[in-house]
Amino acid sequence: MTDPSSGDPAPDGGVSEEFDDAGTETVSDDADDPKGTGGSPGIAVVTALVLGVLGPVIAVASGAAIFAIDAVVGGLSLATSVVLTLVFGQYVAFGGLALGYLAWRGFDRGGIIEYLGVRTPSLKEVGIVLGSWVLILISVLVVSTIVQLLGTETAANSSAELAMGNPSIIPLFVAASFLVIGPCEEILYRGVVQGRLRESLPAAPSILLSAAIFAAIHVIALTGGASAQLTTVSILFVPSLVFGAVYEYTENLVVPALLHGLHNAVLFTALYVTVTQVGSDAMPSVIGFFPV
């Protein structure tokens, strides 16, 4: 991404004052220079942390609401429950929060698209998606092997466990990986969290911090002991770094969204094939490595 260090600092949602050659005061809004607000690195980090944690909090609250609805109506079907969870736990909690934050800062529709970098991927960017997925796959397999050799326990992902017990809904998860999970989580954690950090920090720390936040919030989706959860969060840091690096390089949010969706979809497909053709006992420990 373009280095945002140039330009006068302005707080979130504020404007920066400048003076022309004649000494006349002028005012420029954040939306006119989407990556150039600068500002204090400390404020950027705090803002990123708040946004990164607030998304899962909203998701958990929506999950509680769906549970209450389920109790009131006397039981929702599994498919209905999953769809509602995806809508409120992803579109609202992550996508809605991201867009609401940018709107609060004064960005209009065009400004939001420009800030996030949303455009149709080129053939080169499609190649980057495929190449990056191979890199993630190799990295996860290597790390998984090391973890198993060390005898370290990993946590399981609740979505993967639900899918294992109900393989008929896995095709829904595969579609949702591209249409819901990838876009919604990337718009918040790469587009807004990493984007906000990038306004005040260089690329490397912005990618590292956003990846750490993204990996850490997965604790809410993991089952198992604290040690197992920490191990799995550390493993999830690997694909998170790749997502962030790809976004920084391409400046196109669609690219990491596709990469995220592809990674999840492949894992869900492997889960489906294993459960239906081999048996759940043969499912490898990578079911805990879903960045969802």
Closest C-alpha among 221, 247, 224 to residue 236? 221
pLDDT of 134 reads: 96
- What are the angstrom distances between the C-alpha of 47 and each of 40, 98, 117, 206, 219? 11, 12, 20, 13, 20
Distance, CA of 289 to CA of 218 (rounded, Å): 10
pLDDT in tens, 78-108: 999 999 999 999 999 999 999 999 999 999 9
Q: 3-state SS string over 186-218?
A: HHHHHHHHHHHHHHHCCHHHHHHHHHHHHHHHH
Q: Enumerate residues 6+ apart whose C-beta is below 8 A from 21.
A: none
Q: Which residues of the chain have pLDDT under 50?
A: 4-11, 13-20, 22-33, 282, 284-288
Residue 258 · residue 190 · CB < 8 Å: no
Task: State the pLDDT at residue 157.
Answer: 78
Radius of gyration of the chain (CA): 20
Q: Is 28 exposed, middle or buried (0-12, 13-18, 19+ CB in 10 A)?
A: middle
Give the Cα separation of 239 and 211 in Å (integer): 8
For residue 261, the SS3 value is helix
